[in-house]
Amino acid sequence: MTEVAPVVDSLDFRQAISKFTTGIALVSNMLPNGKPYGMTINSLTSISLDPATLLISLKSGTMLDLIDDTGVFGVSILSANQQNISSNFARKEKDEKYDQNFLIRNDVPTLKDCLAWFECTVDKKIIQDDHTLILGKVSLCKKAETELAPLIFFSSSYHFLPATPM
């Protein structure tokens, strides 16, 4: 007999998983009109060093459509001084004044002044419930030249860590 997994209350799950500290990143792509488009995420995982591979998780929407169309995406890991950028790109209606924060290389936008950035080519997509997991092969990446403090998310709020270890 097949056992059915118990159904977990979504609010209970959200509150419990909020206790897992994550970094904040921005996934980005180019709109058909040539403007950069970004979306704040905290679902970023390093999968492999050789070959360098990242995983992101997205719900259906503009970003997933853009990645489906272009086969590429950018990821920028945000620094503590980029909380306003994170907040802007977490909203459906984005303020275009933040478009000036992007650098565009190889038709893939990434943020200026971030902790690190990655340009990725889609390798695989896995649909899981209401999300699509995207595995991207890293074609180019760079870390910041100076040590910056990271922007982190814990208990449904932004937090900061020092740039240097304690």
At residue 160, the pLDDT reads 86
Per-residue model confidence (pLDDT) at position 115: 96
**According to DSSP H, which parts of 25-109 are helical?**
62-70, 83-89
Among 129, 25, 29, 143, CA closest to 85: 25
Q: What is the DSSP string of 92-107?
A: SS--GGGGGGEEEETT
Domains and CATH numbers, the chain: 22-146 (2.30.110.10)
Pairing of strands 72-77, 22-23: unpaired
Residues in CB range of 50: below 8 A, 6 or more apart = none
Given this model, what pLDDT does residue 1 score? Answer: 60
Between 5 and 16, the higher pLDDT residue: 16
Helix then strand then coil, in percent of the chain rounded to 5, is 20, 45, 35
Query: What is residue 3's predicted lDDT score, i.e. its pLDDT?
Result: 75
Q: Mean of the per-residue pLDDT values for the chain?
A: 93
pLDDT band with cut points at 50, 70 and 90 for residue 153:
very high
What percent of the chain is predicted at pLDDT more than 90? Answer: 86
